[in-house]
Structure formats: structure tokens, C-alpha cells
Amino acid sequence: MKQDYDFSSSDSQSIFDKDSKYVMQTYGRQPIVLSSGNGSIVYDMEGREYIDCVAGIAVTNVGHCHPHLVKAIKDQAEKLMHVSNIYYTEAQAELAEELVNLTGMDRVFFCNSGTEAVESAMKLARVNTKKTNFIAVEHSFHGRTMGALSMTYKDMYRAPFKPLIQEEMFVPFNDAQAISDAITPNTAAVMVEPIQGEGGINVSSETYLKEVRKICDENETLLIFDEVQTGFGRTGEWFCKDHFGVEPDIMTMAKAMGGGFPMGAIAAREGISFARGEHAATFGGNPLACAAALASIEIIQKENLIQRSKEIGKYFHNELAGLSTEGLIEVRGKGLMLGVQFDRKCADIVEHGRRNGILLNCTSETVLRIAPPLVITKEQIDQVVSVLEQA
């Protein structure tokens, strides 16, 4: 693969300038302008290619611009893109049935993003339990809107917007006893990511989620799994809960659901549901988004991407664990949701990767998050590992 990817053309600089002038500067962007993609590869405006190990932050599981997904969106766009939810649409009903079958839950509610799914789950827990408090865990990330933000651990996200929806109630991750100690008669739900994404790819222990399930049952408290980042094959199962054999009362979904098209949802077990008028979303479950999600699910099934994630994820894990890179402490994760823990900040490794044709992401400052499309090849993995070896 070609070296020295740091060159910026005048066309790219024009985009940088427009962004700086007209867009609120909330993101720390890498200095490249991405213009197209195919599979696990994306291209910038100058035609340079990059192996994408970010995948829109675990979104493009089926790869960039998969022909079947593109066709499904085109076909639906020619028929009907949006109508109000005061009418039925075929795609929404079909997707709801598909998600119920995949999740093992009873009913779904459609929204547009992960943070909306978390907000919906919080509302659903409150209205069904008539309780108001929640418990989240340290290093959690559940979103940026005011309700979801109150469940997100890192103070740098929370501090500018206090007071939030609820008082701080965070307990250590992988500590079931801490949840038991924190529950009160007014606890509506406990919310947990089976694998913490933004928190540093922290994986639940084999018994943790089962213990939390038991504690919630004993206290008549709902259990919410945030599967926004871990769903749709990312960890080598349809959903990460399936690794642990634990069923939540409510689960959130988004990111990879639409294959890159914005889409979110919650699913809930039997007996937990919104009544008419208790929640709504103008664009939730619109025909175009549902068509994209149905196509994405079909691709995952037909191309056996669940098993691929499991097998090639193990290969990637082993290759990363064999690196002799200075400061590497641990490689952890499941499937193609991997974290490489360093004893120092890893922003320089992200920069080195970009200069050498690899897109990487650093989370929790010291963890390199590896979440490529599930269609990444072994040859591409070898190139990624080679570049990291140089870092």
C-alpha cells in the first residue's frame, strides 16, 4: 500500500475551509475528505484509498455501498420515501416482524438513532414501572441528548449540561453486587452495554449479566441492554446478549441496523409496551429506512456475516495480540469489535495509520478501537497489522 497519505489538495482545503466557517466545530476531524467507498475500502477526494477500521463507528457492517443495499434504497426511493406514522407501510411491518424474530423480543418501536433509542427505552421503563430512577455503570456511553446523557459516565460530556434528567447513579462495571446495593424501590431500570464501546471495549464477564438479570428480577426492576454498537453481527452473534444467554426486558438498536442509513429502534419483551400516544417519532420507521434495514439484514444472512465476524474476528484478535508494538497491554473484545489497550495515549497511532492508508479510532484515550466492516478480508487485516507494527 502506498505511503504518505498526508497530502491535501486545494479541493480538500476548500472543504476544510467551508466546514470551519459554516459548521459548528463539535468534532475533531481527521484532515481528509472521504468521497466514496466499496466494501472495507474508502477513498478520499484525491483518490487515495484507506482500509476502514472505523466503519462509521460500527455502522457499515455490510461494507460500504453494498450493491444489494444500494438497489434496495434506490428502489424504495422511487416508490415512497416518507409518510406519517398515522398510516401503515409494508416495509415497517416486515422489519418489525424480522426484528422480533432476531431479538427474541415481543414488540419494537422505531426511531432514528442510538441516542433516540436510549431515550425511548428510558421512557418505556418509566411508564411501565411507574418508577423514575435508573442505574448505569461507570465508563458507559448511551448518547448525547439530555436523558441519554444522564446515563453516560464521562464527566466531560455531562458537566456543561447539568442539571440532567436524573441524579448521578453509576456503579462499577462487572460488579453485580454494586448494582444490588444501589437498587431502591424507585429504580425503574438498570442499563448496561454488554460490551462497552466508547468506554474502551470492556467486555462483560461470563457471569455478570446473568447476575444482574437475577438482581433485577428479585427487585422488580427492568433490565435494559444497550446494543446500539454491539448489534447486527458486530460481536459474532446477531446481538451480544446471545453470547451470554441473558434476555433483557428492553434493548436498544441502531448503528449497523440500516447498513449506513440512519435508523434506530427498541425492542421489548411481552407485557412491556407504549400505549397509544405515549411516544412517537416523525421519521421513525419510514419506508426508506426500513427498506435499508431489511436489505442489510438480508445481506448479513445470505453472506453469513455473523459466522464471518466470529471467525475473522478471532484471526484479527490473534494477529493484534502478536504485535510487538511498544506499550501494548492487552487485546480484548468479541468478533470484530476489538480494543487494543496501550499504556499511553494512542492518538499518534491513529495519525500513523491515516498517513499509511488505515483509518483507526482511539477511544477512552488509550484504547485503539477496531471495528471494520464485517466483510474485511484477511489480506486487509494483514496490512492493518503491518502498519500497526510500524507505529
Domain boundaries, the chain: 10-62+304-390, 67-302
pLDDT tier at 93, thresholds 50, 70, 90: very high
Looking at residue 8, what is its pLDDT?
53
What amino acid occupies position 349? Answer: I
Mean pLDDT across the chain, nearest whole number?
95
Pick the CATH number of 10-62+304-390 from 3.20.20.70, 3.90.470.20, 3.30.70.330, 3.90.1150.10: 3.90.1150.10
Find all residues with CB under 8 Å of 138, minimum gap 6, and list them: 153, 170, 171, 172, 173, 199
Active-site residue identified among 241, 255, 310, 334: 255
Cβ-contact 169, 135 below 8 angstroms: yes
**Is the confidence at residue 236, as pLDDT, over 80?**
yes
- Give the CATH number of domain 67-302: 3.40.640.10
Residue 334 catalytic?
A: no
Looking at residue 10, what is its pLDDT?
75
Find all residues with CB under 8 Å of 88, minimum gap 6, and list them: none
Mean pLDDT lowest among 56-70, 126-140, 214-228, 314-328: 314-328
10 vs 253 pLDDT, higher one: 253
What grid cell was written down for 314? 478471532
pLDDT tier at 4, thresholds 50, 70, 90: low
Active-site residue identified among 109, 110, 134, 141: 141
How far, in whole angstroms, is CA 76 from its chain's centroid? Answer: 25
Looking at residue 167, what is its pLDDT?
75
Cβ-contact 43, 34 below 8 angstroms: yes
Active-site residue identified among 226, 239, 261, 342: 226
Three-state secondary-structure class, residue 229: coil
Averaged over 276-299, what is the pLDDT? 98
Instruction: Look up cell 422511487; give the residue.
Output: 78
**Is the confidence at residue 2, as pLDDT, over 80?**
no
369: region left, alpha or beta (phi > 0 left; psi from -120 to 50 alpha): beta
Averaged over 130-152, what is the pLDDT? 96
pLDDT, tens only, 351-381: 999 999 999 999 999 999 999 999 999 999 9
Question: How far apart are the C-alpha atoms of 289 and 300, rounded to whole Å?
Answer: 17
Question: How far apart are the C-alpha atoms of 258 and 338, rounded to whole Å?
Answer: 22
Residue 226 catalytic?
A: yes
Enter the DSSP assignment of 64: B
Instruction: Look up cell 400516544; give the residue.
Output: 277
Instruction: Look up cell 494477529; give the residue.
Output: 319
Residue 255 catalytic?
A: yes
pLDDT, tens only, 157-198: 999 999 998 777 899 999 999 999 999 999 999 999 999 999
Looking at residue 192, what is its pLDDT?
98
